[in-house]
Amino acid sequence: MRYSLNEAFGALHRQGAGAGDWTNEIKTQLCLAGSSQQPPLHVCASGIEATDSGEWLYDVCWLRYGEAAPLGESHADPGLDCLTEAVLILECEWAGGGRDLGRIRDGFQELLVGRARVRCMIWEDGREEDDPAVAEWLVGMMMECLETAPDDFYLLARHTGRGFQYWHLHGNGTVYPM
């Protein structure tokens, strides 16, 4: 994801694109990536053509479905789908919302209570400098959450005036800059 975000945002910056365009690009790229998985995942997001359905709890979701047996029956009805896994959930805070620490906190806390193999947060805060304290702040919230498990996995991408800064976090409190 690192290179596609940098490339996409470089092009958008040269075009003078606005915050709505940046958000749509993030969602579009993630929806295309989810749809290209094998087997294809059920991709959810609002306002993006390359999806299976509209927004579902998070800005972008990659979901896997299986067949469920109807109540009282032992065989599966092919018409009934059962959510078997949330592969990825994403929260995106951009422009005015991304510069507001309360909105960043709220978006991250939505991920804290979600269950998914990968939880992703992408935001823009408008500051010029790289700042590892931002990741430490989010790790502090993660460690305080009673729902956090040691094998939880988060990807964070923070856009500053100098480009993207990336981390991945584990539920045990380990932070890896990327």
Spell out the domain ranges in the chain. Answer: 2-173
**Exposure string for 59-82, b = 16+ CB within 10 A, e = fewer:** bbbbbeeeeeeeeeeeeeeeeeee
- Banded pLDDT at 4 (limits 50, 70, 90): low
Q: Provide the residue count of the chain.
A: 178
> How confident is the model at residue 70, as a pLDDT?
62
> How confident is the model at residue 120, as a pLDDT?
96
The answer to whether 27 and 60 are in contact (CB under 8 A) is: yes
Q: What is the pTM (predicted TM-score) of this model? A: 0.85
